[in-house]
Structure 1
């Protein structure tokens, strides 16, 4: 009985430690563009670091706005590696900027949310 318990315990422990340990850290979870002129180039950067022990893949990036374009250094982030996510906002639509970017990964947690804010002035 004790032998069966020990075997079960070791099996569960092995499975637990064999699981993927991956984690991402962002330099910031929000950026403020401030007040932008109509047509002005608006770009910000988020830095993403893999602080885990396994590779992390960024599967996709989504936004709640058609005015946002992404540029990502690489979708594969090795342990200890830092990559840059560039976010470009189209300022040809005057309005308040209250937008979110959702980052889908194979890390734990697998979904990260970033936010943008600011204001675009009307066309002069």
Structure 2
């Protein structure tokens, strides 16, 4: 059963401006530890790719916060919600701390997709309540 749906479109230029204004502090506020490592690696090879990576993560976390109905209030925090990927490249949500506990206690499961183009990053999240096993 669908619990919630969230979508978000992020202007990559806005993320670029935030990085220019606040430096790495902005990325540290938004990204979990695993995401920070990927962001640093991508930014070192191709700075624009790093900016788009940060924009997709920002967008996916916004979409997730909408799908669960919390917005950006506890237990939802930027760093407690991580967008990782499977070996196939499929993005997956990895939750941490109180957000993970809250999510699991409600019996929820999430599906996420992200995409980016030159000026925009977009994400879509569907959260379902697990069906009880009979």
Q: Structure 1 length as normaliser, TM-score? A: 0.28
What TM-score do you get using the length of structure 2 for normalisation? 0.26
Larger radius of gyration: 1
Considering Cα pairs closer than 8 Å and 6+ residues apart, tell me whether 1 or 2 has the greater RCO: 2
Which has more strand, going by share of residues? 1
Task: Name whichever structure is richer in helix by fraction.
Answer: 2
